[in-house]
Amino acid sequence: MLRRFIVYIALTLASMGLISTSAWAAKDPVYQSFLGTAIDGTDPVSYFTDGRPIAGKSSITHKWNGATWRFKSKANRDLFAANPKKYAPQYGGYCAWAVSQGYTASTDPDAWTIVDGKLYLNYSKSVRSQWEKDIPGNIKSGNKNWPSVLK
């Protein structure tokens, strides 16, 4: 809720010309929240081991691919560090639906799906419902668009 409010304020300020929209352009290979963490500080391994998103601790982190990742335990951090591509969300944690459509968007850690052992995040649960209508087609389109949508 707070994240959406901050985005709303930023877009309002941008429309008034008070801040540059280029600051919001996707440039990083990993989507990072305003907190400066991947997946809003959620432990990426928890999706696989616990079957749900669990908040990571600020004291247990790992830097990878230009982002700081948080973990609920040192064991999860070590699993991630040994094989980050296995646990990191596809498309750098940007919204899978948006990437399939040719653009980027932020994500909600609670709007997730694991397909063929890969984690996909979406902007919201309602957007995830759109994405789920054609998962194979959206993955195919997303793979085609990624990472050129970052430019």
Q: For 46-103, how does the pLDDT look when each residue is reduced to its tens digit (9 = 90+)?
A: 999 999 999 999 999 999 999 999 999 999 999 999 999 999 999 999 999 999 999 9
Listed residue (98, 3, 79, 12) closest to 41, CA to CA: 3
Asked if 44 and 37 touch (Cβ cutoff 8 Å), the reply is no
Q: What percentage of the chain reaches a pLDDT higher than 70?
A: 82
Q: Identify which has the larger pLDDT, 55 or 8.
A: 55
Query: Angle CA(129)–CA(34)–CA(62) in degrees, nearest 5?
Result: 90
pTM, to two decimals = 0.83
Please give the tally of structural domains in the chain.
1
Q: What is the pLDDT of residue 36?
A: 85
Residue 16 — φ and ψ, nearest 5°?
-90, 0
The type of residue at 92 is G
Burial class (CB in 10 A: 0-12, 13-18, 19+), 68: middle
Please check whether residue 52 is in contact with residue 46, taking contact to mean a CB–CB distance below 8 angstroms.
yes
Q: Is the pLDDT of residue 105 over 60?
A: yes
Q: Is the pLDDT of residue 23 over 80?
A: no
Q: Does the pLDDT value for residue 119 go beyond 60?
A: yes
pLDDT at 62: 98
Domain with 60, as residue range(s), is 2-150
